[in-house]
Amino acid sequence: MAKLPTCVDATLDLLKTGNYIADRSLATALYLSLSLNKPLFLEGEAGVGKTEIAKVLSSSLNRQLIRLQCYEGLDVASAVYEWNYARQMLEIRLQEASSVSRDTTELTRTIFKEDFIIERPLLKAMRGTEECAPPILLIDELDRADEPFEAYLLEILSDFQVTIPELGTIKSSHPPIVIITSNRTREVHDALKRRCFYHWVDYPDASRELDILSVKASNASSELSAQVVTFVQKLRSGNLFKAPGVAETIDWAHALTQLDCVSLNSSIIDDTMGALLKYQDDIQKIRGSEAGKLLEEVKAELSTSGEIQ
Amino acid sequence: MTDNAYRPHHTIEKGKLAENIMYFARLLRSAGLPIGPGSVIDAITAVNKIELSQRSDFYWCLNAVFVNRHDQMEVFDQAFQIFWQNPKFLERFMSLALSTSADSTLDEAEPILPRLAEILPDDRHLNEQLDTLQSETHFDAVMTWSKNEVLRELDFEKMTQAEMEEAKKIMRKLTLPLKEMPTRRFHSHFRGTRTDIRAMLRHSLRYGGDYIPMKTKSRYYRPPPLTVLCDISGSMERYSRMLLHFIHALTNDRDRVQSFLFGTRLTNITRLLHQKDVDVALKTVSAAIEDWSGGTRIGHCLEEFNKKWLRRTSAQNSVILLISDGLDRDAGTGIKAAMKRLHKSCNRLIWLNPLLRYEAFAPKPLGIRAILPFVDDFRSVHNLNSLSELADTLNRNRPNEEISMKNWRERAA
């Protein structure tokens, strides 16, 4: 079991061992969240590496990752706990057969006991034990769940406890590391954000993106990587409906290496555009002459920077 | 604060305090606070319980009884200052209430909330008002009814100041009952379609587990999110200022309402409108807006909305209300692409255009022609009736709606 980092630099290094190149602001937020044991709320465009942070933390800290994928209508029964109804009914019948007199409180105690609970991710995360380190709880794409569920999370996030009406409150003795992500398809309520450290995960700058590519798509040639990154950076500054994220950059680099491409040319850009842009309007806008123009700019830029070096 | 200014319960002998509190409660009631006789009695009991030497104790005592929502504080505070500081006002209020003549003067140093000002007559109008009050009292009920009828037909642009105030009051009560959409959530319901095993087992305990009663649950329905985009350019000014009251009422009626204003640029006013008191809310909105009654750049603003807000506001089958006359400074550039994107991302896009009130209206301007192909419904919004009709259509899909839209699209093409 790896120890939690003790400073921001250590956090950066920790992420790096998991092949995650973070910028300092993110590492700071993460460090605060880990050391003060407060959830980390990550918001940002799709494909900037929000979910990845939880995965990397889990592997580099060697902790269990408990993931709760949110969706509309997510309720307590599928997020927190559910009673095992079949066993409960069986228990009632068994009691009926065996004992002579039963009273209601006795029955309540027997059929609503912990054995009959089916754990769902949130309850599982609250029940960390002495032996194993507290898990990492990833609440993914919270914006997809509806507001009632968000309200339910408030208790869990501020006090690390779950209340089951029939059993009472289960308080976590070893609170999990909580990471919440959101794509902003709607605004998450302030009350929830208040209980977390908030960080907006932005697109990386060119040098960091190049570092990311060298780790994540290591078999792409350095020339190709540089071209890919500069091209993508140019696309992001342009007027697109959905700018490509880091995940798209990595995908694109993989796609290009798969096609044995060592350097960008306009025909291959057109052919692989689908790895980078996901809206037809955007593809139409860039494909063809616009892509060629961007490529010229990229080449010019890279050659001047190469000369300086 | 000297107790000099705080005369009512000092100068008036003990028996009068209760009466004063009653008048104060009346004042608050007419300012819109929901105060019944019960709370007046509560207030009197409460005041009896405290030492009446501190002004602030008295204030907070009444406050605790009369105010039950945070947004009522402001009205209460102003009413308190006026009523309990200025004994002359008290006399006047009593005289007005008792319909006798009054000659006293009221000096108001601070500007008071419009809502309070409406019910506090100033001196110039006092006698006049008393006269009308005396002569018209008997016909009051009838008059309001017919006035209401006329008002509902009247174009916002042709209203006088007083009529506008009246219309705003009606508008505050208008809501938009959007057709409720099924969610993926269930709630227990006695005629549900699915068994609710959790409830069944819990109920079975009541009978010692001897038998398990049948419990069911059904799908939960709720109105979809609503996004309002309102044009505030010069040509729309009269309407948008009125409609802001409507938008305010909408925003406070339920959750998941987002409102934006646009002229030359886009402003999100959702948070500002969350202030329940309409006067305070609209004041903050006007302070936040820099492009009141300027030009319009519809294409530019819609594009900005698409990029910055669309994905954040329009998930989950939203309904978008676009309030604009479609007259564009940029001659319709960029509108088409932006509208196409907007239309694709929502469940229903409704265009409210005050120009539609003219019978001879033809979709000629470029902006209008660019918007029309992408809206699901095209309606007028120039008087109170058109707003009520809007509420009506949103509640159900009218069969003729499609036909009339087809008609409009053909004319725009």
- What the block records as the tokens of A190 is 């302030």
Say yes or no to pLDDT of A309 above 70: no
The predicted model gives A40-44 an average pLDDT of: 91
At residue B181, φ and ψ (nearest 5 deg) are: -110, 145
Strand partners, B65: none
B101 CB contacts (<8 Å, ≥6 apart)? B95, B127, B130
3-state helix, strand, coil in chain B (%, to 5): 60, 10, 30
Residues in chain A: 309
Which of B186, B196, B197, B341 is the mutation pick for testing A, counting most A CBs within 10 A? B197
Look up residue B229 and give its DSSP letter. Answer: E
Average pLDDT, chain A: 87
- Is the ipTM beyond the 0.90 threshold? no
At residue A13, φ and ψ (nearest 5 deg) are: -65, -40
Say yes or no to pLDDT of A35 above 70: yes
Note whether A262 contacts B: Cβ–Cβ < 8 A.
no
Q: What angle do CA A211, A18, A220 make, to 5 degrees?
A: 40
Say yes or no to pLDDT of B281 above 60: yes
Burial call A123-143: b when 16+ CB within 10 Å, e when fewer = bbbbbbeeeebbbbbbbbbbb
* Most confident by average pLDDT, A195-204, B28-37, B160-169: A195-204
pLDDT of A166-202, one tens digit each?
888 988 888 899 999 998 888 888 888 888 889 889 8
pLDDT of B36-71, one tens digit each?
888 888 888 888 877 777 777 788 888 888 877 777
Chain B residues with CB within 8 Å of chain A CB? 183-186, 197-198, 201-202, 204-206, 208-210, 212, 225, 255-256, 306-307, 311-313, 315-316, 337, 341
Cβ atoms within 10 Å of B113's Cβ, excluding its own? 18
pLDDT on residue B283 = 85
Say yes or no to pLDDT of B5 above 70: no
Q: Fill in the amino acid letter for B403.
A: I
Note whether A106 contacts B: Cβ–Cβ < 8 A.
no
- What the block records as the tokens of A37 is 């044991």
Say yes or no to pLDDT of B85 above 90: no
| Closest residue in chain A to residue B270, using alpha carbons only | A187
Note whether A73 contacts B: Cβ–Cβ < 8 A.
yes
CB contact under 8 A, B198 and A146: no
Half-sphere exposure of B292 (CA within 13 A, CB side): 12
Q: Looking at the complex, report in whole angstroms how far the Cα of residue A230 sits from the nearest Cα belonging to chain B.
A: 23
Say yes or no to pLDDT of A98 above 70: yes
Burial call B53-86: b when 16+ CB within 10 Å, e when fewer = eeeeebbebbbebbbeeeebebbbebbbbbbbbb
Look up residue B226 and give its DSSP letter. Answer: E
Look up residue B5 and give its DSSP letter. Answer: G
* Most confident by average pLDDT, B98-102, B344-348, B400-404: B344-348
* Most confident by average pLDDT, A230-234, B72-76, B104-108: A230-234
The predicted model gives B285-308 an average pLDDT of: 84
Element spanning B322, H or E: strand B319-323
**Choice between B102 and B371, residue whose per-residue pLDDT is larger:** B371
pLDDT on residue B401 = 63
The residue whose two tokens read 């008059």 is: B143
CA neighbor of A176 nearest in space, from A142, A139, A136: A136
Cβ atoms within 10 Å of A77's Cβ, excluding its own? 14
Q: What region, left, alpha or beta, does residue B251 occupy, with left being phi > 0 and alpha being psi -120 to 50 degrees?
A: alpha
HEC string of chain A equals: CCCCCCCHHHHHHHHHHCCCCCCHHHHHHHHHHHHHCCCEEEEECCCCCHHHHHHHHHHHHCCCEEEEECCCCCCHHHHCEEECHHHHHHHHHHHHHHCCCCCHHHHHHHHCCHHHEEECHHHHHHCCCCCCCCCEEEEECHHHCCHHHHHHHHHHHHHCEEEECCCEEEECCCCCEEEEEECCCCCCCHHHHHCCEEEEECCCCHHHHHHHHHHHCCCCCHHHHHHHHHHHHHHHHCCCCCCCCHHHHHHHHHHHHHCCCCCCCHHHHHHHHHHHCCCHHHHHHHCCHHHHHHHHHHHHHHHHHHHHC
List chain B residues with CB under 8 Å of A45: none
List chain A residues with CB under 8 Å of B313: 186
CB contact under 8 A, B208 and A89: no
Distance CA B150, CA B383 (A): 10
Burial call A150-165: b when 16+ CB within 10 Å, e when fewer = bebbeebbeebebebe
Look up residue B178 and give its DSSP letter. Answer: P
Strand partners, B268: B260
Ranking B3-17, B288-302, B340-354 by mean pLDDT, the lowest is B3-17
- What the block records as the tokens of A186 is 């709607």
The residue whose two tokens read 């078999």 is: A219
Residues in chain B: 413
Ranking B80-84, B141-145, B375-379 by mean pLDDT, the lowest is B141-145
Q: Looking at the complex, report in whole angstroms how far the Cα of residue A252 sits from the nearest Cα belonging to chain B.
A: 24
